[in-house]
Amino acid sequence: MTTWWRRSPDISGREIALAALGAALLLLALFWPLPLHLGRDIPLDTGDPLSQTWQVAWDGHALTAQPLHLFQANQFWPLRNTLAFSDALLGYAPAGLIGSGPHAAVVRYDLLFLFAGALALLGAFLLARELGAPRWAAAIGGAAFACAPWRLEQGGHLHVLSSGGIPLALFLLLRGYRREHTGLILAGWAVCAWQFSLGFTLGLQLGYLLVVLALLAGVWWWRAGRPRPARRLVVATLVGGGLFAVLAVALARPYLQVLHDHPEARRTAALVARYSGPPRMFLAASHTDLVWGGATAGVRHGLPVVPEETLFPGLAILALALAGLGWRGFPRPLRIGLGVAALVLAILSLGFQMHGVGRFLPYRLLYEVVPGWKGIRVPGRLHTLTTLALAILAAGGAARAMAATEARRGRRAAGVLAAGLLAVVILEGAGFGIDRGGAALAGYPHPRAPAIPAGLAAVRAPLLQLPVRPDDNRRYLLWSTAGFPRMLNGRSSFEPRTFVRTTRAVEGFPDAASVALLRAEGVRTVVIHADRASGSAWASWAARPVAGLGLRRERRGPLVIYHLDG
């Protein structure tokens, strides 16, 4: 074990550059034709991605316009800390500095979506290489993490897809401590901090993973006779770990304030139970999956919350991971640890339910005891770490198969096998579903992002836009990147009670009571999107008179604009 700990392989800059280039090209191919329509189309659907285009845009805007008040966003005005109503994606703030307006926001989001997948592949590749996997086996491990089938259904959750910092940080830390290189150690902790800044969904997982790894390292150190570490390593660890801890505390403060101000934001046991799932969700793949989408349709359609419960790990990945348990290129404790981690994390991904045998003690214990765990709404997102463990084992399984083939058939046959395994792993996680006619392959879903209506950006704030269904509010957030006007509208992982009360109170708008209420709250403009009002409380806006209300109404295309200040 001591020998393995010191065995850090040579990884050249050229190898890293080629791996990064290969990852980028692969992601462009997997999500084709999205790269052809940057700024016009959005990956998967026009739901949560629209909110996240706004989040990244706001992060960049606030970084320059109000750096001391990053969390005081323009949504849900006049509430405080509204950026902390969801994972803030602050780590992507530098990208938000480039360009402005809705088109730039969509371009930015599309590029970050592709970047997240490429970084996941590169990070897992480097971690597998550092742990001892040969190049091609490590490439298969990287693909097993970045192309895990479950990621397809997470295409609308950039904060979940952005997991590449986890294996990259582990690679830098492991290599840094092995080589006693303080620069790598500090870089590893910096990547940890960056990953945490993207959101608590993965940040909490990373934080507790580091705690577990630190405890295991402490046990190893004790059993090795408590050797005295070099002072510079201790200093680098304290500085890097301190940076991570300070950032974690600083980011937690606005979220804790939100919980204090808005009790409805708490992740109750009933809410977590709603997003918990039965074991059969490990047999369900996304409907977009080229290989398994149709084959697992029956299992998928029986699940209550399909987007969060398609946790199929991939048959090829699972087979390679099982083979990797026996590959001696990894030390036995590492193989056992990865296998146990994958199993335990998979069990925890089931979460718990409130009644009957579905009430699951292990996850319930974490929920009740571990600090911060109540902030996790969807237990299935622990599958991120499950797939990472399986990916590293899959790299070992690929190395084992390649070595056996080379011994029997020669190096060329081993190379052919490696290429075949890589192709199979990639295809299992490819999002090229069958088109509606069932006749041909269709690319990963890439609907058009809604264009901002002419004249909306010039409306005076603070404003309220109607109707207020979730899909409507997501659009309004994207469109608000044109100047970031203060507005009552917003979209997050919970609905503030004040927003719900206000929107219910103005269902008769324009009438005397709703106009008086909005004026009292400081609203200057109300916009009804006539093309979206059908089926809402404001469908009959044209029949509602404005005489005597002291406001002015005008029509600009699909917009009906009410000026409350006359």
The predicted-structure confidence for 201-225, as pLDDT tens digits, reads as follows 999 999 999 999 999 999 988 888 8
- The H or E element that residue 555 is part of is strand 552-556
- Closest by CA to 470, choosing from 42, 43, 48, is 48
**Burial class of residue 540 (count of CB atoms within 10 Å of its CB; 0-12, 13-18, 19+):** exposed
Confidence at residue 439, expressed as pLDDT on a 0 to 100 scale: 46
| Under 8 Å between Cβ of 23 and 146 | yes
Confidence at residue 365, expressed as pLDDT on a 0 to 100 scale: 85
Of all residues in the chain, the percent with pLDDT exceeding 70 is 95
Q: What is the rounded CA–CA span in Å between residue 353 and residue 458?
A: 48
Confidence of residue 90 (pLDDT cuts 50, 70, 90): very high
pLDDT at 434 over 60: no
Confidence at residue 359, expressed as pLDDT on a 0 to 100 scale: 57
Arithmetic mean of pLDDT over the chain = 92
User: In the structure encoding, which two tokens stand for residue 349, read together?
Assistant: 């991904």
Average pLDDT over residues 94-110: 96
Q: What is the rounded CA–CA span in Å between residue 438 and residue 245?
A: 52
> How would DSSP label each residue in 60-74?
HHHHHH-GGGTT--S
Confidence of residue 306 (pLDDT cuts 50, 70, 90): confident
Q: How far separated are the first and last CA of the chain, in Å rounded?
A: 78
Looking at the DSSP bridge assignments, the partners of residue 423 are none
Q: What is the pLDDT of residues 345-379, one digit of tens each?
A: 999 999 986 544 445 678 888 888 899 888 888 99
Q: What is the pLDDT of residues 13-53, one digit of tens each?
A: 999 999 999 999 999 999 988 999 999 999 999 999 999 99
CA 560 to chain centre: 36
User: In the structure encoding, which two tokens stand for residue 16, read together?
Assistant: 């890293």
Q: What is the rounded CA–CA span in Å between residue 327 and residue 129?
A: 14
SS3 525: strand
Quote the DSSP letter at residue 450.
P
- Closest by CA to 313, choosing from 284, 290, 277, is 284
Least confident of 239-243, 423-427, 443-447: 443-447
Q: What is the pLDDT of residues 475-509, one digit of tens each?
A: 999 999 999 999 999 999 899 999 999 999 999 99
| Under 8 Å between Cβ of 489 and 462 | no
> How would DSSP label each residue in 229-277?
PPHHHHHHHHHHHHHHHHHHHHHHHHHHHHHHH-GGGS--HHHHHHT--
Confidence at residue 29, expressed as pLDDT on a 0 to 100 scale: 92
CB atoms within 10 A of CB 556: 14
pLDDT at 66 over 90: yes
133: left (phi over 0), alpha (psi -120 to 50) or beta: beta
Q: What is the rounded CA–CA span in Å between residue 401 and residue 506?
A: 66
User: In the structure encoding, which two tokens stand for residue 78, read together?
Assistant: 């006049």
Q: What's the sign of the alpha-carbon dihedral 355, 360, 361, 364?
A: negative
Confidence at residue 357, expressed as pLDDT on a 0 to 100 scale: 47
**Burial class of residue 334 (count of CB atoms within 10 Å of its CB; 0-12, 13-18, 19+):** middle
| Under 8 Å between Cβ of 351 and 270 | no
Quote the DSSP letter at residue 460.
P
Q: What is the rounded CA–CA span in Å between residue 101 and residue 353?
A: 43
Q: What is the pLDDT of residues 158-207, one digit of tens each?
A: 999 999 999 999 999 999 999 999 999 999 999 999 999 999 999 999 99
Least confident of 5-9, 290-294, 439-443: 439-443
The beta-carbon contacts of 188-193 under 8 Å, at least 24 apart in sequence, are 188/240, 189/237, 189/239, 189/240, 189/241, 189/243, 189/244, 190/240, 190/243, 191/165, 192/165, 192/240, 192/244, 193/243, 193/244, 193/247
Q: What is the rounded CA–CA span in Å between residue 128 and residue 145?
A: 11
| Under 8 Å between Cβ of 84 and 140 | no
Q: What's the sign of the alpha-carbon dihedral 422, 426, 427, 429?
A: positive
Confidence of residue 3 (pLDDT cuts 50, 70, 90): low
pTM: 0.94
- The H or E element that residue 552 is part of is strand 552-556
Q: What is the pLDDT of residues 246-263, one digit of tens each?
A: 999 999 999 999 999 999
CB atoms within 10 A of CB 94: 11
Confidence of residue 566 (pLDDT cuts 50, 70, 90): low
- Closest by CA to 518, choosing from 481, 488, 541, is 488
Confidence at residue 269, expressed as pLDDT on a 0 to 100 scale: 86
pLDDT at 444 over 70: yes
Q: What is the pLDDT of residues 115-134, one digit of tens each?
A: 999 999 999 999 999 999 99
- Which residues does 537 contact at the CB level (< 8 Å), separation at least 6? 467, 507, 508
Using the structure block, give the residue that is written with the tokens 């600083």: 250
CB atoms within 10 A of CB 235: 13
Give every strand in the sheet of 525-529, ordered side by side. 463-466, 525-529, 559-563, 552-556
**Burial class of residue 539 (count of CB atoms within 10 Å of its CB; 0-12, 13-18, 19+):** middle
Confidence of residue 443 (pLDDT cuts 50, 70, 90): confident
